[in-house]
Amino acid sequence: MIKHIVLAAVAACAVASSANAATVIFQPGVFGAPNGYTLYSDFNTVDAQAVVSGNNFVFPTGSVSGQYTALPANNTPYLAVLGGGVANIAFNNDVRSFSFDYSTVDTYNTLTINYADGGFESVVGGDILTAGQIDGQVSGSFIINGDGRLISGLSLATTQNAFEVDNLAVSGALAAVPEPTTWVMMIAGFGLVGVGMRRRTAAAVVA
């Protein structure tokens, strides 16, 4: 079960779950690898495409109605998993975090995070969409943190056309995403500092 799903860069939404679960950050309308991440595959060349195994996937350019949809303003090849297919990507070295651009969030898409310890977690497109967002019409980028567990790879599966991703990037460090409890502690800390400064100022005036 996924630990947190952050639905925008400004607002964070915590979802309760088991310990050591992944943190999934979805940023609508934001594309490209985060700072500090290394591009693992852009799927533009035969060598870049060779990292993918599985079945019923293609590397198209552009969009074809009813089959696959390119990312906004993207004219280069990308990975599209078709209905009933699965694309598996195993990293050369275990990572702590990875990211990718997501063409359209569909409820029938499933991302599986594979851990180095043999465990795994899955998140479906319906977990990402919020009230008012329409299935198949929201694009953005994903960042996935293992939160202490090393990640060995990922799998992309879908029951219908299609699951389209591009610009897969990896990092040996976790993305900086404060926990909700951390935000509370930070705010409380700022409050205490403010109180201390006010008392110090008042004492100086009296003296």
Q: 66 with 106: CB under 8 angstroms?
A: no
Q: How far apart are CA 76 and CA 55, in angstroms?
A: 21
Q: What is the DSSP letter of 133?
A: P
Distance of CA 2 to the CA centre of its chain: 11
The rounded average pLDDT for each run of 10 residues, N- to C-terminus, in the chain (207 residues) is 46 38 91 95 98 98 95 94 98 97 93 97 86 74 93 98 97 66 47 47 48
- Residue 128: the pLDDT is 81
Q: 103 with 142: CB under 8 angstroms?
A: no
The domain ranges of the chain are 4-176, 179-207
pTM (two decimals): 0.77
**Cα-flanking dihedrals φ and ψ of residue 10, to 5°?**
-90, -45
- Residue 5: the pLDDT is 54
Q: What's the fold here for domain 4-176? A: Jelly Rolls (2.60.120)
Q: How far apart are CA 29 and CA 194, in angstroms?
A: 37
